[in-house]
Amino acid sequence: MKAAVLFETNHPMEIRDLAQDPPKSGEVRVKVGAAGVCASDRHVMTGSSILPLPVVLGHEAAGTVEEVGEGVTHVKPGDRCILSFVSNCGHCRTCRIGLPNICETNLETGASQYDGTTRLHDGDSDVYQMGKLGAFAEYIVVPQQACQPIPDEVPFSVGALIGCRVTTGVGAVINSPAARPGISVAVFGCGGVGLNVIQGARLVGASRIIAVDIYDHKLEFSYKFGATDIINSREVDPVEAIKELTGDGVDMALDSFGNADVLAGAVRALRRGGTAVSIGLAPVGATAPIDIVDMIRGQKTLVGSYYGSVSPHETFKKLVDYYLKGRIDIDSMLTRTYTLEQVNEGFDAIAAGEDGVGIINFDS
């Protein structure tokens, strides 16, 4: 079974033939159809997010169930599925209070399977799977909870993007209590997540959607997804520009980039009573300089959002419906396709700040 393996940070991934165990109880083997090339994989490659090595990256994918282990009831061979990089356990505290997206058991077991072991091996060495998926591989063995069946009309590439960026971006808006028709929204960062934040704002009927980025071509691209105004933060102070455009700031400001100054700017860009949402992952240990008096006197809210803020599976279902009804545009985001062997090129494109998103298509 061929997979792209990261052996060392700041080195390219290597294509290897790995040994794969069959699915254990409650697990399934999936033939990967498509896997997205996402900034969160890159954070692991550069060492700003930490995973045990060697690891197969790829946490945004869709594919077909090939084989099921004992006791599997959610899916059967032949089912086409979106894969969730959080396989929620259903019985930890966060699962019980309705936040399966931040399942504690999933966090504790990390890049191993639920029993603490791995299904991949390179000779004598165990190989981990990012998000229990590790989708830069021809086949993956994952917990059955990772799978959300999808209709045949949804291409694997689209399903893959729903598996991370679309859910993260659109979900951060549509699942927020602050999202109402008529609000003004500022989106910092117009990468894969940022474009989906923009689409989410359009879905809830935002009156004004202000896109902020340092690249003019990304800003131009964001109009396609619903941006009404654009600001190049390399040329002007984005907070001042937002206040100038709106008079007193925006109702919601979302940081899809993940940076201390950007997040602090998102809070300052709010009008009184507004909500800032932190979505983009910053390097481990990063802190942001928030103006406390402004927070209190302006009664502002700052909230984190992970994987769409609620059950990823619930958001997947809504997004599949929106996609099939033409209410969100995922196809236009797909600007580059790669083979598994070209996976490192996909990350060069992210580093170069290219438009849209790249996807690895596997042979059918």
Q: How far apart are CA 137 and CA 57, in angstroms?
A: 9
Report how far residue 228's alpha carbon sits from residue 199's, in angstroms, rounded to the nearest whole number. 11
Q: Of these residues, 49, 125, 164, 332, which one is catalytic?
A: 164
Q: Are 66 and 77 in contact (CB under 8 A)?
A: yes
Min dist. Cβ of residue 99 to Zn ion (A): 9
**Residue reference for tokens 């099939």:** 324
Minimum distance of Zn ion from residue 192's CB (angstroms): 8
Token pair in block for residue 114? 């639920």
Could you say which of 38, 62, 231, 270 contacts Zn ion (CB under 5 A)? 38
**Measuring CA to CA, which residue among 81, 72, 90, 58 is closest to residue 27?**
72
User: Closer to Zn ion at the Cβ: 65 or 86?
Assistant: 86
9-17, 52-60, 172-180, 291-299 -> range binding Zn ion (CB under 5 A): 52-60
Question: Which window, 35-43, 234-242, 314-322, 341-349, contacts Zn ion (CB under 5 A)?
Answer: 35-43
- Sign of the torsion angle spanned by Cα atoms 18, 24, 27, 30: positive
Q: Does 357 bind Zn ion (CB under 5 A)?
A: no
- DSSP code per residue over 161-216: HIIIIIHHHHHHHHT-TT--TT-EEEEE--SHHHHHHHHHHHHTT-SEEEEEES-H
Comparison of 92 and 264: residue with beta carbon closer to Zn ion: 92
Burial (CB count within 10 angstroms: exposed 0-12, middle 13-18, buried 19+), residue 274 = buried
The smaller minimum CB distance to Zn ion, of residues 133 and 269, is found at 133
Under the binding rule (CB under 5 A), the answer on residue 92 touching Zn ion is: yes
Q: Per CB under 5 A, does 302 bind Zn ion?
A: no
59 catalytic, yes or no?
yes
Nearest distance, CB of residue 256 and Zn ion, angstroms: 11
Q: For residue 187, give both structure tokens.
A: 């989106």
User: What strands lie across the sheet with 19-20, from one edge to the other?
Assistant: 19-20, 120-122, 125-129, 55-56
Say if residues 330 and 162 touch (Cβ distance below 8 Å). Answer: yes
Choice from 9, 48, 64, 105 touching Zn ion (CB under 5 A): 105
Nearer to Zn ion, 107 or 236 (CB): 107
Check binding of 40 to Zn ion (CB under 5 A). yes
Separation between Cα atoms, residue 137 and residue 15, nearest integer Å: 9
Residue closer to Zn ion (CB basis): 164 or 262: 164
Secondary structure of the chain: what % helix, strand, coil (to 5)? 35, 25, 40
Q: Is 38 a catalytic residue?
A: yes
Span between the terminal Cα atoms of the chain, in Å: 15
Stretch that binds Zn ion, among 36-44, 138-146, 218-226, 305-313 (CB under 5 A): 36-44
**By rule CB under 5 A, what count of residues binds Zn ion?**
10
Of the candidates 59, 81, 311, 313, the residue annotated as catalytic is 59
Residues 61-90 that bind Zn ion (CB under 5 A): 88-89
Which range, of 27-35, 55-63, 253-261, 336-344, touches Zn ion by CB under 5 A? 55-63
The residue range among 102-110, 236-244, 256-264, 343-351 that interacts with Zn ion, by the rule CB under 5 A, is 102-110
Give CA separation, 199 vs 30, 193, 213, in Å: 30, 10, 16
Q: How far is the CB of 87 from Zn ion (least distance, A)?
A: 9
Near Zn ion in 145-164, by CB under 5 A = 164
Q: Which of 37, 51, 55, 95 binds Zn ion (CB under 5 A)?
A: 95
Binding to Zn ion (CB under 5 A) within 162-221 occurs at 164
Instruction: Mark whether 313 is an active-site residue.
Output: no
Contacts of 315 (CB under 8 A, 6+ apart): 167, 170, 171, 174, 175, 308
> Which residues participate in catalysis according to the annotation?
38, 40, 43, 59, 164
Contacting residues toward Zn ion, per CB under 5 A:
38, 40, 60, 88-89, 92, 95, 103, 105, 164
